[in-house]
Amino acid sequence: MTIYFLGGGNMAEAIAGGLVRQGGYQIHIVNRGAEKRERLAKSLGVAVSEKLPALNAEDILVLAVKPQDMQAACAGVETNGALVLSVAAGLSVNTLSSYLNDTRRIIRTMPNTPGRVGLGVSGLFAADGASDADKQAAEEVMSAIGQVVWLEDEAQIHAITGITGSGPAYVFYLMNALQEAALAQGFDNETARQLSLATFKGAVGLAEQGGEDFIVLQQNVTSKGGTTFAALETFKERKVAQAIGAGVDACVARSKEIAQQFEGGK
C-alpha cells in the first residue's frame, strides 16, 4: 500500500511528515512545482513526482490541492478502487465523486493548522462507499497529526470548520489581544508576547490535567468583587462570549456558501 498525496501544500506536508515520523508507510507526493518536489523529497525523504502514478485498490489517495484547482487536478485520474481521502474544504462527497468517475470510496476530513506540530484535530466523514476498514485506515492517517473526531452527517463538516478548522485563528486573535493589553500596561514586546503565550499554554495545561469544566476552572480563580471578577464582568458587559458565538455562526455560514458555489448553487 502506498499513500499518495495529490498536492504538496502545507497540510499535505504536515500529514506526510507525521506519517514519516511514525514510520512504516510508503509515501508519494505529487506536485507540479519542481522546486517544491525537491524540497519535500529532501526534508521528508519521500518519493515525489510531477504526475500521479497508476493507483491500486489497496492504495490511499489524499486530495490536498486547493478546492478551486481540484477539478483540473483530478482530470484523468483513475482511482482504480483506491480509497480517497480529501482535505479540501467546501467540496462535498458528490462533487468529489463527479470529479473521480463516480467513485464513492471517499472520506472527507477537516484538519486544522496545529496538526503541523502534531496537536491538530480533524473531523472525518465517510461516504456510503467507504467500509469500516477504510474508516480505520483514514483514522490512522489523520491521527499522525493529532486527534480524530468522526461526524455522522456530512453537513457537520461546516460546523467543525467553524469550531476547530478556523478555531486556532480565534485563539491567536485572543492571544494577540492579551499581548496588546500587556503592551498598554507598559511591558516591552518580547515580554508581552511571553506573558500571553505562557498564560494560554498554562491554562490549557491546567484544563487538560484536571478535567474539570471550563466554567468551574474560571470560577476557581474568580473571587466575587476581586480583580478577576472585575475583568470578567467587563467581558460580560461587552458580550464577548456572544461575539465569539456569532463569529462561529458566520464561519459556518460562509463554509456553506463556499460549498454551494462548488456545487453550482444547488
- Specify if 159 maps to a domain: no
On whether 135 is known to bind a ligand per the annotation, the reply is no
H helices within the chain, ranges in order?
10-22, 34-44, 70-74, 93-99, 132-142, 156-160, 167-184, 189-210, 214-220, 227-237, 240-262
Tens-place pLDDT, residues 219-234: 999 999 999 999 999 9
Does 94 share its domain with 226? no
Residue 264 is predicted with a pLDDT of 60
What cell was used for 118? 502534531
On whether 183 is known to bind a ligand per the annotation, the reply is no
Decide which of 151, 175, 196 is a domain's last residue: 151
On whether 178 is known to bind a ligand per the annotation, the reply is no
* Residue 7 burial class via C-beta count within 10 angstroms: exposed 0-12, middle 13-18, buried 19 and up: buried
Residue 265 is predicted with a pLDDT of 43
On whether 9 is known to bind a ligand per the annotation, the reply is yes
Does 145 share its domain with 252? no
Number of neighbouring beta carbons within 10 Å of residue 193? 17
- Contact between 4 and 59 (Cβ < 8 Å): yes
Report whether pLDDT(266) > 60. no
Does 87 share its domain with 205? no
Tens-place pLDDT, residues 78-103: 999 999 999 999 999 999 999 999 99
What cell was used for 188? 516591552
Tens-place pLDDT, residues 114-144: 999 999 999 999 999 999 999 999 999 999 9
On whether 67 is known to bind a ligand per the annotation, the reply is yes
User: Is residue 190 left, alpha or beta, with left meaning phi > 0 and alpha meaning psi from -120 to 50?
Assistant: alpha
Query: Whole-structure pTM over 0.85, yes or no?
Result: yes
Report whether pLDDT(149) > 90. yes
Residues contacting residue 27 through CB under 8 Å, at least 6 positions apart: 2, 3, 5, 16, 19, 20, 44, 46, 47
CATH number of the domain to which 192 belongs: 1.10.3730.10
Residue 144 is predicted with a pLDDT of 97
Number of domains within the chain: 2
On whether 121 is known to bind a ligand per the annotation, the reply is no
What cell was used for 199? 498564560
- Specify if 266 maps to a domain: no
Number of neighbouring beta carbons within 10 Å of residue 116? 18
- Separation CA 214–CA 200 (nearest Å): 13
Does 244 share its domain with 123? no
On whether 64 is known to bind a ligand per the annotation, the reply is yes
On whether 7 is known to bind a ligand per the annotation, the reply is yes
Q: What is the domain range of residue 145?
A: 2-151
Does 217 share its domain with 116? no
Tens-place pLDDT, residues 42-67: 999 999 999 999 999 999 999 999 99
